[in-house]
Each structure stands twice: as structure tokens, then as C-alpha cells.
Chains A and B, each alone.
Chain A
Amino acid sequence: MPTLDDIKGVGLGLKRELIPQIQRLFHDPSIGNINFVEIAPENWMGAGGKAAADLAWFVERFPIVCHGLCLSLGGPDPLNIDFLKQVKQFLAQNKIPLYTEHLSFCSDIQQGKPGYMYDLLPIPFTEEAVKYVAQRIRQTQDLLGQRIAIENTSYYVSAPISTMDEITFLNAVLSEADCDLHLDINNIYVNSINFNFDAEDFLKQLPSERIVYSHVAGHLQLASNLLVDTHGENIIDLVWALLNQAYARFGPFPTLLERDINIPPLPELLFEIDKIAALQAQHKMKKAQAA
């Protein structure tokens, strides 16, 4: 049964298009750097048929992380306890040691009724929001009986009612909830361009002891000061540089490549997978030399 220690090296976000390719190349050394995979529970829970068969295949062969999208930790409607119980069952059934979510909200209340938006929306950075979200994270951890990690999310609109910056908000939630950090390197970069802050300065303020693993991905540039976190392009050099800085500062933590649209054939993604692995090896060696 995989444990948190098995989430190491490089991972790949599992998309349906990639499944037959990974199955075909499973014994091929070219995919040797894929150590773990990540799935959204909202895409797999409760499904029979082909999806169930595919999931069973991966459960037997790879450590898996659940990276949720719809828990809506910052949502104004009550936390969906039924859903969370199903997640707990899903994790146990599929031997999944880690569940992470976004520091965002994806549901609302209109005319007194809760409803899903199915997308990640930014929580205003206020004291009230810190307490509210942290309480819901603790509630989640209590119900699951395990720690979760939350991801720093990309966003495009800064709430005029915010009373603090993103890094202050993130750190306040992490410490108030006492949960782990699922660090998204691309999101730091995207937000630093969209809201004109120093990405390296953000990085420096992160609590390294809470990082469980990270994401890297490509994004879409709409204007010189506006990037959209599409996960549909190759990773740009400045994001590679930021990952390099993060490794230098915190050591080479596990890192997963996200690619959700414009998915190229697997061999093309392997360039980026292998590049992450090489960067991790480099930093491991530096660390060993320094010791």
C-alpha cells in the first residue's frame, strides 16, 4: 500500500488521452521517470466500466494522489460532507495516500440554494476568510483522519475588499489550519505577472516544512500583464527558473507536470518530465556535495 513517502520524484497528471499510451509504454524505460500520477476525484469517483478498469490498472502500478477541484474550501455554502465522506471511501478503496485541494472556492448560494460553479474562483484575502477557510480545512482533516495539502491558486481579479497580499493570506491559512502546502510554481509566476509582484520574494516567504509536492505547467499569455493558467502549453523558461530557485532554496521536492488541454503525444511530455528529473538530480548532487 503506497504511503506519502512513495509520492517522490516526478509525477504526471493523468488525463484520459494519456492512459493508453502509458499502458503501452509501461515496461519501456522511456517513461521510467514517471514515479506517481495525480487524478481529480471528481472525474473518477463512482464510475464503473472503462473508467473503473483504467483506475484499477493504475492503482496496481503507480502511487496516486487525489487533487480535488470541487470541495470549495472557501465557498459560502456549507462544506459538502456527503461528498467528503465519499472522497474518504474513494481514497481508501484505491490506496491513495494523499488528498490535496485548492485555496479557492467553486460553489455559491443564489436565491438561498447552494450550487456548483465547476471552476476555481479567488477567495478575498481578509482576516475573516482566513479563519473561515482554516476552520473548513481542519474540519476536512478531522473527517478524513489525515492531513491535506492546499494549493496556491492562480487568479485574475483581485478583490477590492482584500486587506492583505496573497502570500500573507496563504501563510495565515496554512498556520491557522495546520495543513500542508501543495505548491504550484506556475501559479506563483502567473499571479506575479497578473498582479505585479516579485515571484522570488513570494517563494522566499513560503514555509518549506509544509511542502508535500509541487506542480509545474504551461500557461497562456493574453497580454504583457495577463497570463491565464490553461495548462495547455509547454513550460516557459521563467517558470523553469523559478522551479530551479525553489529547489535551491528548499531542496528538490516531488514535482508533477500538469497538462490539461492541447495534450501532445506522451513522448513530447516526457521531455518536460525528464527535465524535471534532471533538475532534481542536479540539486540532490549539490546538496550531497555541500554536506
Chain B
Amino acid sequence: MSLSPSLDSYAAIGITILMVLVVIVAMLILAHFVGPSRHGPVKDSPYESGMPVSTDARRRFHIRFYIVAVLFMLFDVEVIFMWPWATVFHHAATTGATIPLETGGVAGKGFLLAGMGVFFALLLFGLLYEWKKGAFQWD
């Protein structure tokens, strides 16, 4: 029983996930059945330092958190774009290999570096723009 090495790896990860799931289900079931279970109106209400509950907890939160989420989407996705580039660029720079382009030419390490340079400049411009706009100002 042996698939390709890479598929074997994913199968092993899948089995790991299954094993951990067994542990989790066992823990949740044990937690549910072993301990005592006594309910009461005070015990079942949300904890608010002993005060009666005033409002529902799901209220609006500050706009800053929303901005962080949007910035994360932008930056993290851009960083993920750099990963395949990094491996291709390493290959091109260490072995001198070239990558065929759709236009018919070939791209060497200089072309790859310049391409990432443009991308990186946009990323940097975005960061500086957000900085100047005060998106990172938290107090």
C-alpha cells in the first residue's frame, strides 16, 4: 500500500486529524456525562461580575477592529502571493534556469526580481498610505 509520496503525506495528515478527532469527541462526551449537572436561573445567565445582565452581548464593536480585518485581508493575501514567487525565484537564481513566458520570451532571475519589485512597491505604498491615513493609530 503506497501511493505517491506526496499523497501518502496527505493521507497521514488525514489519519492524524482522525486520531485527534477521536480524542476530542471522547473528551466532549466524558465532560458531558461525568460531571454533575445542576441548573439555576443565576447560573445560566451570562457572567457580568455579579451584576444583573444589562444588554445583549452582541453589540457593535469599534471600527478599528474592522479596519484590522480589511488590512489583514490585503496584506496576508499579498504575502501568500510571494510564496510561489520565492520558490521560483530561488530556483532561477541558484540554477540560472529560465521560465518561459506566454509572449514567447523567457524570464530569468532579473525579470523575476523586477516583477516582485513592482508588486512590493505597491504593497509598500499601501502600507505607507494606511500609516499616513492613521489606520494604525490605536490611542
Q: Do A and B come from one complex?
A: no
Task: Identify the A interface with B (CB < 8 A).
Answer: none
Interface residues of B (CB under 8 A from A): none
